[in-house]
């Protein structure tokens, strides 16, 4: 807390294409995101899984906060005349009983998800999407789609906020690393960092990961350690790949679905 007799800080107003990073969803109020473009990152593993689902031909991903909501949504939509719907997600890194898929990106193959919808619930990622629902656009970013994401937003005049989900209540390096990679590329395209140093810290973390190896840095993260502990090191390696997918998933809060940007149905 600042001393009460401090003078106001010097102005640091960015008026052209501002860029901010939030190291955990709890560090930003939803109202602060209104009217902006938000990139939600849950790098290990929800964001990577969503990106892979679309790369494999999924029609949409329907995020839910709870397992029960996902099950109820599938029952509700089972006979709506739309594409088949699967249940996907995890709790504590493990597939819930009765689900078709867990939260492992490599399992979202064309054989499993092509032409289908996925009702999807994970520990952190779904809540972060809903936290950003007042934004003008809500996009899903990961290590896998850094290049596609940066191309999508680099010329947008609106503020861009990169929102790191964290691991439950804790800041997690695995989200910060792709955020830093995006900061590096977006700075090169002319975006300007706001006064808060979170974007600069993310950039430093990313450059440090390049020095030691991205997969090692991801494995050493909070999320990476969790997966190693439950025998899912291969998923850490998968989520550490840079620029392997040319997809930009976009969340549409009014209809509760994630679709490919530019290919979403109206309404």
Q: Please give the pLDDT value at position 126.
A: 80
Could you report the per-residue pLDDT of 75-92, keeping only the tens digit for each?
Answer: 999 889 999 999 999 887
Q: Please give the pLDDT value at position 1.
A: 55
Q: Which residues pair with 138 in a beta bridge?
A: 38, 251
pLDDT band at 204 (very low <50, low <70, confident <90, very high): very high
Over range 235-253, report the average pLDDT.
97
| Residue 8 domain flag | no
- 194-200 contacts: CB < 8 A, separation 24 or more? 194/12, 194/14, 194/18, 194/19, 194/20, 195/12, 195/14, 196/20, 196/21, 198/20, 198/21, 198/22, 198/23, 198/27, 199/19, 199/20, 199/21, 199/162
Round to whole Å and give the CA distance between 187 and 144.
Answer: 19
pLDDT band at 264 (very low <50, low <70, confident <90, very high): very low
Could you report the per-residue pLDDT of 217-231, keeping only the tens digit for each?
Answer: 999 999 999 999 989
Structural domain including 44 reads 18-253
Please answer whether residues 121 and 63 qualify as being in contact, where contact means their C-beta atoms are separated by less than 8 angstroms. yes
Helix (H), strand (E) at residue 162? strand 160-164
| Residue 1 domain flag | no
The domain that contains 124 carries what CATH number?
Answer: 3.90.1560.10
- Whether residue 201 has pLDDT greater than 70: yes
pLDDT > 90 fraction of the chain, expressed in percent and rounded: 83
Q: Counting beta carbons within 10 angstroms of the beta carbon of residue 121, is it exposed (0 to 12), middle (13 to 18) or buried (19 or more)?
A: buried
Could you report the per-residue pLDDT of 157-194, keeping only the tens digit for each?
Answer: 999 999 999 988 899 999 999 999 999 999 999 999 99
Over range 246-254, report the average pLDDT.
96
Q: Please state, rounded to an integer, the average pLDDT across all residues of the chain.
A: 92
| Residue 13 domain flag | no
- Whether residue 123 has pLDDT greater than 80: no
| Residue 265 domain flag | no
Round to whole Å and give the CA distance between 128 and 182.
Answer: 18
Q: Which residues, including other chains, have CB under 8 Å from residue 191's CB and lie 6 or more apart?
A: 17, 18, 19, 154, 160
Round to whole Å and give the CA distance between 126 and 150.
Answer: 22
Q: 81-103: b or e for each residue (b if 16 or more CB lie within 10 Å)?
A: eeeebbbbbbeebebbeebbbbb
Q: Which residues, including other chains, have CB under 8 Å from residue 231's CB and lie 6 or more apart?
A: none
Please answer whether residues 163 and 198 qualify as being in contact, where contact means their C-beta atoms are separated by less than 8 angstroms. no
Q: Counting beta carbons within 10 angstroms of the beta carbon of residue 10, is it exposed (0 to 12), middle (13 to 18) or buried (19 or more)?
A: exposed
| Residue 39 domain flag | yes
Closest CA to 59 of 110, 129, 17: 110
| Residue 3 domain flag | no
The total of structural domains in the chain comes to 1
| Residue 88 domain flag | yes
Distances from the Cα of 92 to the Cα of 80, 123, 157, angstroms: 31, 7, 39
Round to whole Å and give the CA distance between 51 and 140.
Answer: 8
Tokens found for residue 168: 């439950």
Round to whole Å and give the CA distance between 111 and 104.
Answer: 15
């Amino acid at each position: 807390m600042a001393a009460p007799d401090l003078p106001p800080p010097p102005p640091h107003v960015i008026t052209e294409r501002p860029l901010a990073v939030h190291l955990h969803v709890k560090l930003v109020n939803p109202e602060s995101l209104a009217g902006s473009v938000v990139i939600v990152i849950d790098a290990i593993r929800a964001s990577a899984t969503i990106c892979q689902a679309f790369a494999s031909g999924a029609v949409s991903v329907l995020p839910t906060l709870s397992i029960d909501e996902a099950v109820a949504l599938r029952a509700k939509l089972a006979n709506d005349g739309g594409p088949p719907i699967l249940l996907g997600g995890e709790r504590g890194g493990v597939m819930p009983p009765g689900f078709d898929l867990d939260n492992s990106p490599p399992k979202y193959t064309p054989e499993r998800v092509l032409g289908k919808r996925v009702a999807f619930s994970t520990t952190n990622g779904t809540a972060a999407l809903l936290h950003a629902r007042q934004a003008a656009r809500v996009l899903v970013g990961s290590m896998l789609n850094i290049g596609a994401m940066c191309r999508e937003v680099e010329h947008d005049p609106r503020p861009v906020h990169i929102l790191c989900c964290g691991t439950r209540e804790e800041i997690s390096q695995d989200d910060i690393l792709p955020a830093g990679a995006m900061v590096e590329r977006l700075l090169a395209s002319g975006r300007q960092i706001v006064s808060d140093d979170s974007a600069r810290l993310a950039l430093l973390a990313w450059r440090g990961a390049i020095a030691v190896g991205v997969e090692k840095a991801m494995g050493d993260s909070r999320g990476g350690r969790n997966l190693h502990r439950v025998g899912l090191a291969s998923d850490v390696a998968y989520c550490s790949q840079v620029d392997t997918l040319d997809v930009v998933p976009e969340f549409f809060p009014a209809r509760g679905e994630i679709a490919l940007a530019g290919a979403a149905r109206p309404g």
